[in-house]
Each structure stands twice: as C-alpha cells, then as structure tokens.
C-alpha cells in the first residue's frame, strides 16, 4: 500500500512550485530595496520560546503547536510563527550591538495543527520581515508602505490594508478591564473558549472565530476610546504619514492580532478571491517582546505574508487580468463565409481589414445560424456576411450584433482604406 502525505501537509509541484518561487523572489526584491537583509532561521525551537512570546492563552499555544519531547526531555516545537524565532536570534547574537537599527527578513515553513481547508494547511509557507531599534511613527508608516509595495509588485492592487492601535502597557490594562466586564455581562452568550478568556485574556474575546461570538463582539467597547495620549498621537501620526504617501488603508477598530506581543500599530491585509480565508498578511509593533525574551529594552515592528494564500490571490488576480485581456481580443468584425465560392473573397477582405489594423475573425463552412452563434459568443459587435448572392454583386451584408437593431447594411468589399473602415463602422 502506498504511503500518502500527512493530513494538512502537501507537495508543491510544477506550476505551483514555480509560482511560490516567483512570489518569494518578488517579495524579497522589494524587501531588499527597503534595506532588509536575510536571516535563515531553524524550524525547531524550544517550546518555552513560543509560550513566552506568543502568550499561553492564545489559540496557537493552547491548541495548534506541534510539540514533542527531545531525547533529553526538552520540549521542542516546530515553529508556529516567525517573529519569536527572529527575536530569539536577535537577542542571542547581540545584533543590537552591531547597529542601532536592524532589519531582517526570512522565509520558510510554519507549522500549526489547524483544520485544513482552502488556503490553510498544517504546514504553510511564510515570508516575514522585522525591524528592530525604532519606535517612531515613521517606522510604522515605512513598514506599511513596504507591505503595500510588495502587494503592488505581485499585482494585488485591490488588496486591502486594515490598521488599528492596540495601545500599550499604560492604557491597555484599563481597556482589558472594560472588555472583561463586557465579557461577564455576556457570559451566557459566549462560546466555552471565550468564557475561559474572560479572565485569562479578555482581548482574545475579539479574536474568536465562532460566528455567534463574532457578531456579539460588535457590541464590545472599542480600544480607541481607551488609548492614552501618546498612543493616540502615535497612531494619528502613522495615519498622517500614510495619507501623505498615498497608501490606502482602512481603520478597523476591532482588529486584534492573534498574538499577545503586539501593541500600538497592528495591521492585517486581505485579498480578493479567497472566500472566508481572505487574510494574506499581518503584523504590527511589539516593543516589549525583545526584553521579554531576555534582550535589551528595544522597540520593534514586523509583518509576515502567508505564501499559500498569497499564491491563491495572485492566481485569482491573474485570472481576472486574463479575462480582461480576452475581452480586449474581441474581434471588431466577424466575417461569415457561406459556401466554397465565397472563401477567396472572404479571405481577401479579412486581410485588407487586418492590414488596416482591424481585429477580424474569419469563419466558414457552417450554417449561418452556427456562425452567428459563434460571433455572439466572441462578443463581435458586427458580422459581415458573404454568401453567393453577396459575392455576385460584390457587396457584403453587415449585421450589427450589439446595438439590438435588425436592419442590414450593404458593404462594397472592393473598397479600400478609410472608405472600407467607414463602411464596416470601424474607427481607425
């Protein structure tokens, strides 16, 4: 019996593999323009790294990590995200001592034990970037501009960037209390996971995937109403800079990233053609994480693209572009040749029009009804009919297909140049 791949894991073959490489190459090209340099991270880390970085009450740590004991009993985990590993490397190699600002990018597989579905697998690919050493709004705006440029490079001009501010250690505790109180008021309406989150991590109440909880969260208090003045000012400056650079975004006051380390600016990117799994990227500021993992007190911000969903979005965008291109190839004139004796004149007329720059589709050997059906499928606005009667008098019959009119127009097909163009109703 043949051995199949593990559920949620898959092979990348042929065109799919080439598309991943193309996307990765395009993204890296943009990242390097912004000064990010590559770091290659291990896929296996100590479990405590992710528990401390991501948060023990997050879905990732509670339910989704692939964790197992090493032979010496050390708990190891296949990385469920890239930022914690990048921060660990930054701290371990004392990169802050090399330069006051460090920019890193990485790519590779990520592992989460989720329910597999379109665009979501248990092993998936990410390309991410982290900027260490800057806490100013300009850094946030620059990172978001970089994200926009990656999307544009990939032809995803319609992808949407949603942003929010999650506050910081000064103002978020007050908001957590407001949210906890709201959760208590609606305890009976919440799912069991959210009931547990009321005490452990109220912010996760806004991140639940259950439909009932998602609808209920629309009545929850908004964090923006609890922001302290520095956080509110920071967010306002980020928005002002994005506006000045022409980067289109939307403010989503209920956006909460699924990782506990985010604060202040957070964001998510969604793309068309993906259904319910529309998110292709996410990120934000995490100023306290480096110190939490044993490093210096240093600010940082980053993001990651999911290549699997990004590939689906690129395919959808290209399919739309191909449809648009196909529409651009609609023939201006469809010449219907009826009977063997009309073929030479039909071919000569088609050539004259083509040499005048007109897109012409020529067909024959079938009934007029069949040819008219084909002309209609191609979207041809006019059909020039050449039957034996038309050839005898050297005047074709022009029918208008898109103007919903029945009258027929005679066209002298011995005409040349502009006179012929005018006769068939085609502008030069």
pLDDT above 90 (res 114): no
Among the residue ranges 8-17, 74-83, 229-238, 296-305, the one predicted with the least confidence is 8-17
Q: Which residue has the higher pLDDT, 328 or 236?
A: 236
pLDDT above 90 (res 9): no
**Residue 164: its pLDDT value, please?**
92
Q: What are the tens digits of pLDDT across the range 169-202? A: 888 888 888 888 888 887 777 888 788 777 777 7
Strands 333-337 and 300-306: unpaired
pLDDT above 90 (res 37): yes
Residue that finishes a domain, picked among 321, 354, 377? 321
Structural domain includes residue 195: no
Do 305 and 350 fall within a single domain?
A: no
pLDDT above 60 (res 407): no
Structural domain includes residue 119: yes
Do 23 and 110 fall within a single domain?
A: yes
Do 264 and 398 fall within a single domain?
A: no
Do 245 and 309 fall within a single domain?
A: yes
Residue that finishes a domain, picked among 273, 289, 321? 321
Contact 226, 182 (CB under 8 A): no
Structural domain includes residue 125: yes
User: Kindly report the CA angle at 19 between 30 and 37, in degrees rounded to 5?
Assistant: 30
Do 282 and 404 fall within a single domain?
A: no
Report residue 376's pLDDT band, with 50, 70 and 90 as the boundaries.
confident
Q: Which residue has the higher pLDDT, 15 or 73?
A: 73
Cα-based torsion angle of the residue sequence 242, 246, 249, 253 in order, rounded to the nearest 10 degrees: 40
Structural domain includes residue 299: yes
Number of domains into which the chain is organized? 2
Structural domain includes residue 211: no
Structural domain includes residue 210: no
Q: Which residue has the higher pLDDT, 147 or 257?
A: 147
Contact 165, 264 (CB under 8 A): yes
CATH code of 161's domain: 3.30.930.10
Mean pLDDT confidence for 350-378: 87
Do 96 and 241 fall within a single domain?
A: yes
The token pair at 400 is 């208008």
The token pair at 408 is 């027929």
Phi/psi zone of residue 357: left (φ > 0), alpha (ψ -120 to 50 degrees), beta? left
Do 48 and 139 fall within a single domain?
A: yes
Do 35 and 121 fall within a single domain?
A: yes
Share of the chain above pLDDT 70, in %: 93
Residue that finishes a domain, picked among 271, 297, 321? 321
Scan for tokens 């965008």, then name that residue: 317
Q: Count of alpha carbons within 13 Å of 132, Cβ hemisphere only?
A: 28
Do 28 and 53 fall within a single domain?
A: yes
Do 131 and 151 fall within a single domain?
A: yes
Contact 134, 192 (CB under 8 A): no
Mean pLDDT confidence for 110-125: 83
Phi/psi zone of residue 120: left (φ > 0), alpha (ψ -120 to 50 degrees), beta? beta
Report residue 117's pLDDT band, with 50, 70 and 90 as the boundaries.
confident
Do 297 and 354 fall within a single domain?
A: no
User: Strands, E, within 271-332: which ranges?
Assistant: 279-285, 300-306
pLDDT above 60 (res 428): no
Structural domain includes residue 370: yes
Q: Count of alpha carbons within 13 Å of 5, Cβ hemisphere only?
A: 9
Mean pLDDT, the chain, rounded, equals 86
- Phi and psi for 100 in degrees, rounded to 5? -70, -20
Q: Which range has the top average pLDDT, 102-106, 177-181, 241-245, 349-353?
A: 102-106
Do 278 and 383 fall within a single domain?
A: no
DSSP helix/strand/coil, 144: helix
pLDDT above 80 (res 330): yes
CATH code of 358's domain: 3.40.50.800
Residue 371's domain comprises: 330-424
Structural domain includes residue 359: yes
Mean pLDDT confidence for 368-384: 87
């Amino acid at each position: 019996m043949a051995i199949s791949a593990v559920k949620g894991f898959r092979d990348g073959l042929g065109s799919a593999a080439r598309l991943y490489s193309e996307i990765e190459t395009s993204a890296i090209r943009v990242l390097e323009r912004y000064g990010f340099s590559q770091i290659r991270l291990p896929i296996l880390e100590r479990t405590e790294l992710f528990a401390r970085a991501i948060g023990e009450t997050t879905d990732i740590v509670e339910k989704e990590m692939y964790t197992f004991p090493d032979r010496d009993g050390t708990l190891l985990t296949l990385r469920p995200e890239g930022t914690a590993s990048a921060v660990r490397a930054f701290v371990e190699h004392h990169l802050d001592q090399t330069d006051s600002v460090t920019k890193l990018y990485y790519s590779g597989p990520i592992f989460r034990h989720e329910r597999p579905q379109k665009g979501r697998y248990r092993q998936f690919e990410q390309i991410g970037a982290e900027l260490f050493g800057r806490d100013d709004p300009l850094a946030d705006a620059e990172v978001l501009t970089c994200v926009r440029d990656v999307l544009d490079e990939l032809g995803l001009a319609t992808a949407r960037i949603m942003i929010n501010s999650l506050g910081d250690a000064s103002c978020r505790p007050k908001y957590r209390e407001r949210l906890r109180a709201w959760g208590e008021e609606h305890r009976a309406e919440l799912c069991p996971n959210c009931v547990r989150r009321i005490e452990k991590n109220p912010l996760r109440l806004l991140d639940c995937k259950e439909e009932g909880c998602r609808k209920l969260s629309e009545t929850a208090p908004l964090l923006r109403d609890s922001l302290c003045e520095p956080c509110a000012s920071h967010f306002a400056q980020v928005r002002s800079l994005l506006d000045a650079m022409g980067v289109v975004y939307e403010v989503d006051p209920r956006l909460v990233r699924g990782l506990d380390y985010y604060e202040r600016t957070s964001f998510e990117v969604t793309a068309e053609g993906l259904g319910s799994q529309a998110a292709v990227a996410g990120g934000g500021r995490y100023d306290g994480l480096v110190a939490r993992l044993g490093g210096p007190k240093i600010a940082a911000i980053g993001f990651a693209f999911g290549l699997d969903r990004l590939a689906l979005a690129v395919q959808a965008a290209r399919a739309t572009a191909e449809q648009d291109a196909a529409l651009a190839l609609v023939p201006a004139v469809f010449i219907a040749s009826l009977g063997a004796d009309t073929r030479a004149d039909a071919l000569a007329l088609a050539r004259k029009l083509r040499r005048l720059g007109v897109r012409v589709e020529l067909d024959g050997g079938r009934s007029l009804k069949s040819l008219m059906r084909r002309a209609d499928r191609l979207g041809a606005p006019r059909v020039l009919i050449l039957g034996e009667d038309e050839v005898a008098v050297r005047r074709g019959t022009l029918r208008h297909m898109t103007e919903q009119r029945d009258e027929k127009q005679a066209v002298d097909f011995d005409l040349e140049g502009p006179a012929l163009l005018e006769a068939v109703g085609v502008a030069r």
